[in-house]
Structure 1
Amino acid sequence: MDNEWRVSAPDRGSTRYAAGDSSYDFFLLRTATAEAVRDATALEPERLIYRRGPGEFLGELSLLTGQLVFLTVRVVTAGTVVRISAPELRRVLAEQVDIADVLIETFRARRELMQFGVQIYAPCAVVGLDVSDELRPVVELEDGTRIETSAVVAATGARYRRLDIARWAEFEQSGCIRYAATELDLRGYESQPVAVVGGANSAGQAALSLAARGCTVHLVVRSADLEAKMSAYLAGRIYAHPQIHVHTRSTLRDLQGDDTLAAIVVTSEGQRFPCLRGRRHPLRLHQAGGDRRR
């Protein structure tokens, strides 16, 4: 373990860093639990922002930007933590791009939530909902916490429909199949051959985003007309883009390759033919369109 990675066992109630600190360290929680609070002011009492447990980390985007700390973090359950200095963290992130992507996205998401005063409870499970008072429902957490609120939104997430094609799960696990074209998903795709399966607006937006990164994009659409499910404006941009090749009346039938996806096969009006084959780079496949289900 690097000299700047130190294991310690802080006591319950001890502070890891406090609002106003000019610098602080990054903490990995092994067995300890900690909470971040916004300090009390003359007008407002102290407010819990989030709680973190074993397997999670403490730190915000200010670790990388050098801004002052605006939350106080203290230990609520004694245990062990791994402490990493800010310079060492920056060195690790520069070398491990995949870890950096995940960490920075988490930092940004937390900052967005905290700007709106969101209190985060994680990790924890909801075990009950007390609606004895219809105007003030109470959410019951696994650790015994009761959260009184005015409304409850059950966000159970999205489940994507996988195509019934041989080796789909294998290529999905290897990272060759994606279901979105966010900034994080697009990284590493630059100038690579990509196929987008779908004919709705999300497929069109994904195709344009990928083409903007220098990708050669093949858009596989089941309908005869791209405008059947896509806005005319978006369809026009796609037809006009030299990097995007549209395959209408087409259905994905087969995936080919060894460890990574190398080619796809589609049928078009009953005829089967290789649609796209990667050369120097592995082929990437985006499934988009109306294939997301709750």
Structure 2
Amino acid sequence: MPPDKPTAASNVSLTRRAWAIRRNALLMGEVQGQGYIGQALGVADVLAVTHFHALTYRPGDPEWEGRDRFYLSIGHYAIALYSAMIEAGLLPEDELETYGMDDSRLPMSGMAAYTPGMEITGGSLGHGLGIAVGAALGLKRKGNPAFVYNMMSDGELGEGSTWEAVMSAVQWQLDNLVCVVDFNNQQADGPTTQALATGTEAPKWEAFGWHAQEVDGNDLDALVQAFDTARALPDPRPRVIICHTRMCKGVPFLEDREITHFIRVEPDEWAKARAILDAEVPT
């Protein structure tokens, strides 16, 4: 374990971290009565592994130069990242109740100017990986051994700017870059596999020169292995981990609902969803 990784991560299970991220997201969603909760519940396991296994950072010093960078290209996933950052001690828990409110540091779409520890402003999809390529190149030129992790959506696989960044990362041999794709097969206008993605993405990335892995994004053991493999590779290639996640994971009555890009949750269902999580608190 790197010495600047939060020490609390060693004695709290990743299962418990993922549970807390889901619960934080539900609490924030209830504050506004809305939010991209389907994505937040689905990607909670991935964020548990990034923030409590893979990343090196100092909770009390978000600008520490030696930190690994985590770039959220998908701005509307901010509710998920805030949930992880609160659990990690990067944000105070009491700010959870301000989510999406005027003057809050937790706007509904992630913005670096508002939120300590939010590395980039996402939202115009397809831009995050290009920013990550520039950051990874800059770190290498400065001799900084930190990694850059870029989380993007499966919908961004249809953006031309994404593939320009893919090619650039190979050209510059950015072995300090890990792209994390949340593949939940949903984008704003329908299933991603009915647009420009096939659902089996690794061969495409490999053809461009990346080291590619596809994993069950709700299997913590598989995720840990994939992130460890990505970090330890000896060859100078950028790395991608395509995480197949299930929207609304952990709340069965939402999982069983007709899945769309934006899940509607009725006012009385927030407490019902929390009660389901609270009935089985992991250790």
Structure showing greater Rg = 1
The bucket for the TM-score relative to the shorter chain is under 0.3
TM-score by length of 1: 0.24
Higher relative contact order (CA 8 A, sep 6+): 2
Choose between structure 1 and 2: higher helix proportion.
2
Q: Which has the higher strand share?
A: 1
